[in-house]
Amino acid sequence: MPEVESPAPPPEPLRPEPRQPRPNAPGLDAPVIRLPNIGPAFAQKLEKLGVETVRDLLYLLPHRYDDFSQLRTIDKLKFGEEVTIIGTVWDIRTRDIGNDRKMVTARVGDGTGEIQMTWFNPWIEKQLRVGQAYSFGGKVETYRSDLVMRGPEFEPLDRALLSTGRLAPVYPLTEGLSVRWLRNVIKLALDAWGADLPDFLPEPIRRSNGLLTLAEAITQIHFPDNHERLAAAHRRLSFDEFLLLQLGVLSARERFRGAPARPLRAGAEVIAPFVERLPFALTAAQSRALREIAVDLESDRPMGRLLQGDVGSGKTAVAAAALWAAVANGSQGAIMAPTEILAEQHARSFGRMFAAQVNPTSGQPVRVALLTGAMSAGEREETLAALGRGEIDLAVGTHALIQKGVEFRDLALAVVDEQHRFGVEQRAALRQKGVQPHMLVMSATPIPRSLALTLYGDLDVSVIDEMPAGRTPIRTKWLTSSQRERAYGFIRRQVAEGRQAFIVYPLVEESPVSEARAAVEEHARLSANIFPELRLGLLHGRLKGEEKDSMMRAFGAGELDILVATSVVEVGIDVPNATVIMIEGAERFGLAQLHQFRGRVGRGEHPSYCILVSDVAEGEGVRRLEALENNTDGFALAQIDLELRGPGDFFGTRQSGLPPLKTAELSDLRTLEDAREAAKAVFRADPELAVPEHRELAAQVAQFWRGGGDIS
């Protein structure tokens, strides 16, 4: 047997190597085509990944790592391990396996044993040399009781190891690019330009927070020496994103609050008469939130406040009292909702709450008007004219409120409900309907307070963390489809006791590409076969506005026993006699949405129930349903939802106006809070980021927020 080379030591740590650029060498903002090994074809492929410049290439971060850092001799290999071995290639063979496919097999030994390597790539035979030693990294598998590696990474031992013997980066790819090619190109860019990355983070902030330099962080995020160095690199880049995020948010807050606004009288002498006429007493939490809003309204700076509260906590009543303050000051108020059903619900609720109120300026009853896209041309024209003359005190509507031609005489307070359902442009458009009006945004999708302060750093936050008296806890039960008849029987018994029920489906109509049940077909089946003796209604988003309104009025009046619906019942449905909601295909909905569905019941004096029907057996769907079954606190569920889904899905950047976060995770509260404190300190000392040591930072803030929109 030929002499076997000894296993080589682990690879040396990678460090950015300071060097003088060659004359006329590309700078960080030069196109990648000026780098070695990148021609026009590869540049086009990289462009699909968002990489156009050298800087873009350095910030093309791995989305995961293959851990080949464990170096093993062949006799110590175990099935299922991801390891690196160093061995000599003794034999290479290629054979046809049909369908124009070839399999390359190599026999590799290291003096302690031999292992077979296989690839389905005929070019491998030209890349390996018999008698030469390589580093191989991959997962140990078995074939006919022998250990094998299928498709392992490999590298000659005479160069720095990028794909074996370490935590090997795995990048997003596009057709025509391989991960090995990308690793090599990024290593070339790091060697030449990594040390030239300007570190925009002021040195005192970097040192006080124990952060790596930017050059170290970028090098380690691509080719980490170990798990600890990877974590340190991740923390530095996360800190950067959170800091840039916070500085932009604080700047937006300063701009928004810097303009003068009209102070509104909102003391007890104004608010108390309205509150006293409500048919219920406010909770302590509602009263506290209302006091905070009243202080803002009396300021000569525009209010920007987020009102958070769980489903059914009474946010609408607080908003109504704030809107009354606008009316009592001789001005107008508006509330924008994401759906016609919710807008119609608000119009009815406000109609009841303002029925006994008189506009002190006109001496006339307070007039509430609804403005939606479903109105006839004549109704719309009449409503718009009255709005412009100031004859309408409160406008309730959907996106129709921000359409061209909608003019207020004097809009003093704008309210946005379910604010996460609107984009930043829509919120800004509503604000533009008045001269610097006060703004209140509401959310029934709670997020932890520390995150609210970060994500809505341009807003003050009020939290209603107490439920009104009489709200009964809702019992939640997860059933499989084989237990569906039990659920039907339970609904039948509830209806016999005089109660009502919702049955929610993920689709409107059956789809050939989905196995999920659909509302239209299931309504027909339930009416004919399951509940023929009961009165069933059907509600979905494709119905016309008047049809939806008629269906909801009938259900609210008790003329229907069961309402079969889609997700249109997520918000805006308030039927105290409804005690059961059954959600089919529950795994297809997000946790926040399921919690919203559950909030449609439990609004009256009777015990209420939520039934989840799903056959999901593994993964995130199981965790969501278990979380809902075991938790009724919306804030606790929000934290679980954030951890399960991550920031991208939990808080869509398109809706929020926030730039996308490449590294930072909103569940990383420690780094988030550290960066927020650093941003506040920088902003207090230099709000314009004008001093020399902040110029690089100012440039990064501008680049980070480019195209981010109006976050206030």
Using DSSP, state whether 3 is helix, strand or coil: coil
| Rounded Cα distance, 269 and 343, in Å | 29
**Would you state the CATH architecture of domain 474-631?**
3-Layer(aba) Sandwich (3.40)
Q: How confident is the model at residue 163 (pLDDT cuts 50, 70, 90)?
A: low
* Single-letter code of the amino acid located at 334: A
Cβ 601 vs Cβ 611: under 8 Å:
no
HSE-CB of 193 using CA atoms within 13 angstroms:
22
The string of pLDDT tens digits covering residues 67-84 is 767 778 888 888 888 888
236: phi then psi, degrees, rounded to nearest 5: -60, -50
Kindly indicate the confidence band of residue 3, based on its pLDDT and cuts at 50, 70 and 90: very low
Mean pLDDT of 336-359: 86
Spatial separation of the C-alpha atoms in residues 187 and 36, rounded to whole Å: 11
Region 245-270: mean pLDDT is: 86
Distance (Å, whole) CA 160 – CA 82: 20
Query: What pLDDT, on the 0 to 100 scale, is given for residue 590?
Result: 83
Q: Whole-angstrom Cα distance, residue 388 to residue 407?
A: 5
Going from the C-alpha of 599 to that of each of 126, 604, 626, the distances in angstroms are 64, 11, 17
pLDDT for res 231: 92
More confident residue, 154 or 531: 531
pTM above 0.85, yes or no: no
Looking at domain 268-299+314-443, does it have CATH number 3.40.50.300? Answer: yes
| Tens-place pLDDT, residues 104-117 | 999 998 888 889 99
- Work out whether strand 562-565 and strand 500-504 pair parallel, antiparallel, or are unpaired: parallel
* Whole-number percent of the chain with pLDDT over 70: 87
CA dist., res. 306 & res. 291, Å (int): 14
* Contact in structure between 319 and 335 (CB atoms under 8 Å): yes
Which pLDDT score, from 0 to 100, does residue 651 have?
46
* pLDDT top residue among 297 and 3: 297
Was domain 11-63+171-196 assigned CATH 1.10.150?
yes
Position 71 scores a pLDDT of: 78
Q: Count the helices and strands in the chain (H runs, E runs).
A: 23, 21
Phi–psi pair at 416, nearest 5 degrees: -115, 120
Sequence letter at residue 444? A
Residue 636 binned pLDDT confidence (cut-offs 50, 70, 90): confident
Query: Which residues lie below 8 Å from residue 59, measured CB to CB, with a gap of 6+?
Result: 218, 662
Q: What is the pLDDT of residue 596?
A: 86
**Across residues 21-26, what is the average pLDDT?**
41
Which of 380-389, 464-473, 618-627, 696-705 bottoms out in mean pLDDT, i.e. has the lowest? 464-473
Most confidently predicted of 56-70, 129-143, 148-162: 129-143
Any idea which of 125-139, 417-431, 512-526 has the lowest mean pLDDT? 417-431
Residue 654 has pLDDT above 50, yes or no: no
Q: How many CA atoms within 13 Å lie on the side-chain side of 343?
A: 26
Q: What is the pLDDT of residue 23?
A: 35
What's the CA dihedral at 258, 261, 264, 266 to 10 degrees? -20
8 A C-beta contact, residue 238 and residue 671: yes
* pLDDT band for position 516 (cuts 50, 70, 90): low
Q: At what angle do helices 340-353 and 545-556 cross, to 10 degrees?
A: 50
| Residue 350 · residue 320 · CB < 8 Å | yes
Domain ranges for the chain, please list them. 11-63+171-196, 67-165, 268-299+314-443, 474-631
Angstrom distance (rounded) from CA 97 to CA 95:
6
Output the CA–CA distances (angstroms, integers) from residue 123 to 127, 128, 137, in the order listed: 7, 9, 18
Higher-pLDDT residue of 552, 564: 564
The residue among 570 and 635 whose pLDDT is bigger is 635
User: Residue 691 has what DSSP assignment?
Assistant: S
Query: For residue 495, what pLDDT band results from cuts at 50, 70 and 90?
Result: very high
State mean pLDDT over 482-501.
96
- 72 token code pair: 């093993």
- Residue 404 pLDDT: 87
Backbone angles phi, psi at 554, to 5 degrees: -65, -40
Q: Domain 67-165 adopts which CATH fold? A: OB fold (Dihydrolipoamide Acetyltransferase, E2P) (2.40.50)
Q: Which residues have CB under 8 Å from 712's CB, separation 6+?
A: 252, 253, 255, 256, 304, 428, 458, 459
Distance of CA 449 to the CA centre of its chain: 16
Q: Exposed, middle or buried by CB within 10 Å (0-12, 13-18, 19+), for 654?
A: exposed
Q: What is the pLDDT of residues 209-253, one digit of tens each?
A: 999 999 999 999 998 888 899 999 999 999 999 999 889 888 877
pLDDT at 623 over 80: yes
Please report the pLDDT score of residue 197 as a whole number.
82
Query: Is pLDDT above 70 for 271?
Result: yes
- As given in the structure block, the two tokens for residue 577 are 């006699």
Residue range 27-44, pLDDT digits in tens? 778 888 878 778 888 888
The reported pLDDT for the residue numbered 68 is 66
For residue 2, pLDDT over 50 is answered with no
Closest CA to 565 of 516, 622, 501: 501
Q: Do domains 67-165 and 474-631 have the same CATH topology?
A: no
As a whole number of angstroms, the distance between CA 157 and CA 134 comes to: 6
Torsion, CA 630, CA 633, CA 636, CA 639, rounded to 10? 100
For residues 152 and 138, the answer to whether their CB atoms sit within 8 Å is yes
